[in-house]
Amino acid sequence: MKASDADILIIPGYTNSGPDHWQSRWQAKLSTARRVEQAEWSKPVRADWVARLVEEVNAATRPVVLVAHSLGVPTAIHAVPEIAGKVAGAFLVAPPDVANPKIRPKHLMTFGPYPRDPLPFPSVTIASRNDPFGAFEHADDIAHAWGSLLIDAGESGHINGESGHGPWPEGTMVFAQFLSSLPPVRRRTEASD
Protein backbone atom coordinates (compact mmCIF):
# COMPACT_ATOMS: atom_id res chain seq x y z
CA MET A 1 0.00 0.00 0.00
CA LYS A 2 1.13 3.53 -0.71
CA ALA A 3 0.58 6.39 1.72
CA SER A 4 -1.66 8.04 -0.88
CA ASP A 5 -3.96 4.97 -0.79
CA ALA A 6 -4.71 5.36 2.93
CA ASP A 7 -6.18 7.78 5.40
CA ILE A 8 -3.35 8.00 7.92
CA LEU A 9 -4.70 8.91 11.33
CA ILE A 10 -2.16 10.44 13.72
CA ILE A 11 -3.21 9.59 17.30
CA PRO A 12 -1.14 11.57 19.81
CA GLY A 13 -0.93 10.84 23.50
CA TYR A 14 -1.34 12.82 26.69
CA THR A 15 -0.94 16.61 26.12
CA ASN A 16 -0.78 16.15 22.32
CA SER A 17 2.33 16.05 20.11
CA GLY A 18 4.14 19.37 19.75
CA PRO A 19 5.51 20.84 16.50
CA ASP A 20 8.89 19.09 16.86
CA HIS A 21 7.39 15.65 17.58
CA TRP A 22 7.81 13.05 14.84
CA GLN A 23 4.00 12.68 14.62
CA SER A 24 3.61 16.37 13.76
CA ARG A 25 6.40 16.16 11.20
CA TRP A 26 4.82 13.11 9.57
CA GLN A 27 1.44 14.81 9.48
CA ALA A 28 3.01 17.78 7.67
CA LYS A 29 4.77 15.53 5.12
CA LEU A 30 2.06 12.97 4.37
CA SER A 31 -0.74 14.46 2.29
CA THR A 32 -3.32 11.92 3.49
CA ALA A 33 -2.43 12.22 7.20
CA ARG A 34 -4.59 14.02 9.72
CA ARG A 35 -4.50 14.30 13.48
CA VAL A 36 -7.25 12.93 15.69
CA GLU A 37 -7.95 16.08 17.71
CA GLN A 38 -9.16 15.61 21.26
CA ALA A 39 -11.31 18.12 23.17
CA GLU A 40 -9.20 17.72 26.31
CA TRP A 41 -5.51 16.90 25.89
CA SER A 42 -4.42 17.38 29.51
CA LYS A 43 -7.32 15.57 31.24
CA PRO A 44 -8.02 12.66 28.92
CA VAL A 45 -11.19 10.61 29.34
CA ARG A 46 -10.94 7.19 27.73
CA ALA A 47 -14.54 7.06 26.45
CA ASP A 48 -14.21 10.51 24.86
CA TRP A 49 -10.86 9.77 23.25
CA VAL A 50 -12.05 6.43 21.86
CA ALA A 51 -15.30 7.97 20.56
CA ARG A 52 -13.33 10.72 18.80
CA LEU A 53 -11.09 8.15 17.10
CA VAL A 54 -14.13 6.12 16.02
CA GLU A 55 -15.61 9.31 14.47
CA GLU A 56 -12.43 9.93 12.49
CA VAL A 57 -12.21 6.33 11.27
CA ASN A 58 -15.86 6.42 10.20
CA ALA A 59 -15.23 9.67 8.30
CA ALA A 60 -12.37 8.09 6.33
CA THR A 61 -12.84 7.55 2.61
CA ARG A 62 -9.89 5.16 2.18
CA PRO A 63 -8.52 2.29 4.24
CA VAL A 64 -7.19 3.64 7.54
CA VAL A 65 -3.67 3.30 8.92
CA LEU A 66 -3.37 4.23 12.58
CA VAL A 67 -0.19 5.94 13.82
CA ALA A 68 -0.46 6.03 17.61
CA HIS A 69 2.02 7.27 20.20
CA SER A 70 1.91 6.84 23.97
CA LEU A 71 -1.67 7.25 25.29
CA GLY A 72 -2.80 7.11 21.66
CA VAL A 73 -1.96 3.38 21.74
CA PRO A 74 -4.55 2.35 24.34
CA THR A 75 -7.00 4.74 22.67
CA ALA A 76 -6.56 2.82 19.41
CA ILE A 77 -6.68 -0.61 21.06
CA HIS A 78 -9.88 0.16 22.98
CA ALA A 79 -11.49 1.37 19.72
CA VAL A 80 -10.74 -1.86 17.80
CA PRO A 81 -14.18 -3.47 18.22
CA GLU A 82 -15.79 -0.45 16.54
CA ILE A 83 -13.22 0.25 13.81
CA ALA A 84 -11.77 -3.12 12.81
CA GLY A 85 -13.40 -3.30 9.38
CA LYS A 86 -11.95 -0.01 8.15
CA VAL A 87 -8.40 -0.31 9.51
CA ALA A 88 -5.69 -1.67 7.22
CA GLY A 89 -2.93 -1.55 9.84
CA ALA A 90 -1.62 0.07 13.01
CA PHE A 91 1.78 1.55 13.85
CA LEU A 92 1.94 1.64 17.66
CA VAL A 93 4.79 3.53 19.33
CA ALA A 94 5.81 3.67 23.01
CA PRO A 95 2.77 2.01 24.59
CA PRO A 96 2.52 3.17 28.20
CA ASP A 97 1.78 0.70 30.97
CA VAL A 98 -1.61 2.16 31.86
CA ALA A 99 -2.28 -0.56 34.44
CA ASN A 100 0.81 0.39 36.47
CA PRO A 101 -0.26 2.21 39.67
CA LYS A 102 2.99 4.21 39.53
CA ILE A 103 2.00 5.96 36.28
CA ARG A 104 1.59 9.73 36.56
CA PRO A 105 -0.75 11.46 36.29
CA LYS A 106 -2.84 8.75 37.96
CA HIS A 107 -5.95 9.33 35.85
CA LEU A 108 -4.08 7.79 32.89
CA MET A 109 -4.81 4.43 34.54
CA THR A 110 -8.41 4.83 33.35
CA PHE A 111 -7.05 3.80 29.92
CA GLY A 112 -6.01 0.40 31.29
CA PRO A 113 -5.87 -2.43 31.24
CA TYR A 114 -5.22 -3.14 27.58
CA PRO A 115 -7.49 -5.60 25.80
CA ARG A 116 -5.36 -8.64 24.96
CA ASP A 117 -7.32 -9.97 21.98
CA PRO A 118 -5.35 -10.46 18.77
CA LEU A 119 -5.71 -7.46 16.48
CA PRO A 120 -7.75 -8.11 13.32
CA PHE A 121 -5.26 -6.19 11.16
CA PRO A 122 -1.45 -6.10 10.77
CA SER A 123 0.43 -4.05 13.34
CA VAL A 124 3.88 -3.03 14.48
CA THR A 125 4.68 -2.08 18.07
CA ILE A 126 7.85 -0.09 18.71
CA ALA A 127 9.13 0.01 22.28
CA SER A 128 12.12 1.44 24.08
CA ARG A 129 14.14 -0.30 26.77
CA ASN A 130 14.21 2.80 28.99
CA ASP A 131 10.75 4.30 28.45
CA PRO A 132 9.75 5.97 31.73
CA PHE A 133 6.07 5.24 30.99
CA GLY A 134 6.27 1.55 30.19
CA ALA A 135 8.74 -1.28 30.63
CA PHE A 136 9.98 -3.06 27.53
CA GLU A 137 8.79 -6.37 29.02
CA HIS A 138 5.26 -4.97 29.24
CA ALA A 139 5.36 -3.88 25.59
CA ASP A 140 6.72 -7.29 24.60
CA ASP A 141 3.88 -9.02 26.46
CA ILE A 142 1.05 -6.96 24.98
CA ALA A 143 2.52 -6.97 21.46
CA HIS A 144 2.67 -10.77 21.64
CA ALA A 145 -0.97 -10.92 22.79
CA TRP A 146 -2.03 -8.64 19.91
CA GLY A 147 -0.03 -10.60 17.32
CA SER A 148 1.92 -7.42 16.63
CA LEU A 149 5.48 -7.35 15.36
CA LEU A 150 7.59 -5.92 18.19
CA ILE A 151 10.54 -3.72 17.25
CA ASP A 152 13.15 -3.04 19.91
CA ALA A 153 14.10 0.64 19.73
CA GLY A 154 16.96 0.21 22.21
CA GLU A 155 17.37 2.94 24.79
CA SER A 156 15.20 5.60 23.18
CA GLY A 157 13.26 7.01 26.11
CA HIS A 158 9.62 7.72 25.30
CA ILE A 159 10.37 8.08 21.57
CA ASN A 160 9.26 11.70 21.49
CA GLY A 161 10.78 15.15 21.00
CA GLU A 162 12.15 15.24 24.55
CA SER A 163 14.11 12.04 23.92
CA GLY A 164 15.57 13.43 20.68
CA HIS A 165 13.04 11.82 18.33
CA GLY A 166 11.78 14.85 16.46
CA PRO A 167 12.78 13.86 12.93
CA TRP A 168 13.13 10.12 13.82
CA PRO A 169 14.46 8.86 10.45
CA GLU A 170 14.57 5.24 11.69
CA GLY A 171 10.87 5.42 12.46
CA THR A 172 10.16 6.87 9.02
CA MET A 173 11.95 3.91 7.41
CA VAL A 174 10.11 1.34 9.53
CA PHE A 175 6.78 3.03 8.79
CA ALA A 176 7.52 3.03 5.05
CA GLN A 177 8.35 -0.69 5.20
CA PHE A 178 5.20 -1.36 7.19
CA LEU A 179 3.03 0.52 4.69
CA SER A 180 4.58 -1.35 1.77
CA SER A 181 3.81 -4.66 3.50
CA LEU A 182 0.08 -3.90 3.66
CA PRO A 183 -2.02 -5.28 0.80
CA PRO A 184 -2.49 -2.77 -2.01
CA VAL A 185 -5.87 -1.13 -2.33
CA ARG A 186 -7.94 -2.70 -5.07
CA ARG A 187 -9.36 -0.06 -7.34
CA ARG A 188 -12.76 -0.62 -8.87
CA THR A 189 -12.60 -0.82 -12.63
CA GLU A 190 -15.31 0.08 -15.09
CA ALA A 191 -15.56 -3.59 -16.04
CA SER A 192 -16.56 -4.49 -12.49
CA ASP A 193 -19.19 -1.72 -12.19
Q: Which of the four pLDDT bands, split at 50, 70 and 90, describes residue 164?
A: confident
Domain 3-183: CATH superfamily is: Alpha/Beta hydrolase fold, catalytic domain (3.40.50.1820)
Domain positions in the chain:
3-183
Whole-model pTM: value is: 0.94
Digit-coded pLDDT (tens) for 178-191: 999 998 766 544 34
DSSP the chain: --GGGSEEEEE--TT---TTSHHHHHHHH-TTEEE---S-SSS--HHHHHHHHHHHHHH-SS-EEEEEETTHHHHHHHHHHHHGGGEEEEEEES---TT-TT-SSGGGGGG-SPP-SPPSS-EEEEE-TT-TTS-HHHHHHHHHHHTPEEEE--S-TTSSGGGT-SS-HHHHHHHHHHHHHSPPPPPP-GGG-
Digit-coded pLDDT (tens) for 107-149: 899 999 999 999 999 999 999 999 999 999 999 999 999 999 9
